[in-house]
Structure 1
């Protein structure tokens, strides 16, 4: 079972093993969401299913469990979507994108949230798969397999609401890590949300700092050293992660786990919910 990362060679071995698995393409363009369908139709790993950020991995409907730009759907709603694809509790999930793990981490985290541990991010993404000559598809998606029942299990990852987070800001039992770019964190620019800045006291770790220049996750040793430097003695168990809308922060969550620093929490509403909530403080630096 793969629970964090899977290499392209390990995915090839999985394909040949006869084990039940499903591959999900989470590629997206945040500023042009319609490009997700274009990218999927152009090239994808053979047999991959599409997991669209707006259609499948978030919702603005009555089943949303939080606010912000990309609210999580309820666990029940998301489990029903998985079942409609034929995904079962016995399957290994492999998630990838072509965006430096910016989007596929969302599905990795959500499956953990549903209690499914057998999910791994493809290290290096689509680019690494193509570099070794991995089989690809293009064109329209394959018909869905026969629908199944995906059963919910106790959550393996936790999220924090704005109501729970706000009273803890500034306390020693909370460490916030902001995964947005440094300029957005400092409040020098804000291309998406109505207010620039960050949650007071938050530390900054842009999500792409977890990857090498070649697009692979850094070694556990390097990641641990970098996060320990960032935390500067703070207890890793107090960490809550956020970004703009709870998507690109997940590589930081995964990186801390790879580094042996344990399971940490997600604030899915992130800056988009925080800065739109009346009365909450916003800092610049």
Structure 2
């Protein structure tokens, strides 16, 4: 599937000066676990980027922007410069959460206009270790390149709360909720203070894009997941905070959808606005 590389490919390209490897491991219920795991062992040469410190802005007191707001453009440019990403580099991101955190970096690089290839390591760190490939605890130094990362924001990739509200039930626009079905239906909500989903949204749990072995399904299998959607429609993807929606963005684009956008604030942003409608149960009920 487009947007992925295998462990074997990465092993063969470890020494390339044009490949930048990024470890994105992170646990929502234990924010320090990802970096600790990285320090204990990672793919040689990989840098570590933290979901909350590096790939998100601080959560606002009023929760506007959601639990993982998009990072400030200048700050994310500084982060990418620190690990040496320059024009034309092939960035390979990985995690051990099925690609969810790595997909956040994949999306941010595309949103900031990176002109090199951007890939997710299929099966992540677990697949790397299972293949018997080397693991290191050596932390690479910050990049010494003189070339800063220059962002070129792609505004058309993201929508705001107000834009989502304008599109509710509008023909030609479809909302895709990437959370587990019980959260979508409002039967349980372990994270956010309000349960349910945005009215009209269809539910496509992001992990259904993976096989039982944790590998991304093929482009044809992804097309089957979204067979009831039209490639001509505007597809707006969301989740709880804009992170696990990113694997569905990847899957939709691999399946041939041409107009896929991220509601970056997602459910945690939607419910912060008084008066926004909320639906529970399935849409057909």
Partner Cα separation in structure 2 for residue 273 and residue 248 of structure 1: 15
**Residue of structure 2 equivalent to 1:238:** 234
**Residue of structure 2 equivalent to 1:5:** 4
Question: Which sections of structure 1, spanning at least 5 residues, go unmatched?
Answer: none
> Secondary structure of 1:15's partner?
coil
Q: CA deviation at 1:172?
A: 1.0
Match status 1:276 vs 2:272: yes
Per the alignment, do residues 206 and 7 of structure 1 end up closer, same or farther by CA in structure 2, a change over 3 Å counting? same
TM-score, normalised relative to structure 2: 0.91
Partner Cα separation in structure 2 for residue 134 and residue 157 of structure 1: 39
Question: Which sections of structure 2, spanning at least 5 residues, go unmatched?
Answer: none
Per the alignment, do residues 4 and 106 of structure 1 end up closer, same or farther by CA in structure 2, a change over 3 Å counting? same
> Secondary structure of 2:236's partner?
strand
Q: CA deviation at 1:259?
A: 1.6
Runs of 4+ in structure 1 deviating by more than 6 angstroms, as ranges, are none
After superposition, residues 1-285 of structure 1 pair within 5 angstroms as: 4-16=3-15, 18-60=16-58, 67-117=65-115, 118-138=117-137, 141-147=139-145, 148-153=147-152, 155=154, 158-229=157-228, 231=229, 234-285=230-281
Q: CA deviation at 1:76?
A: 2.4
Per the alignment, do residues 67 and 156 of structure 1 end up closer, same or farther by CA in structure 2, a change over 3 Å counting? closer
Partner Cα separation in structure 2 for residue 130 and residue 156 of structure 1: 38
Q: CA deviation at 1:154?
A: 5.2
> Secondary structure of 1:239's partner?
strand
Could you list the per-position Cα deviations for residues 20-71 of structure 1 after superposition, in whole angstroms to 9, with x for gaps in the alignment?
Answer: 1110011111111121222212221111111100000001279xxx710000
TM-score, normalised relative to structure 1: 0.91
RMSD, aligned α-carbons = 1.9
Could you list the per-position Cα deviations for residues 177-212 of structure 1 after superposition, in whole angstroms to 9, with x for gaps in the alignment?
Answer: 000000000000111111000000000011100000
Determine if contact 2:4/2:119 at 8 Å carries over to the other structure: yes
Q: CA deviation at 1:164?
A: 1.2
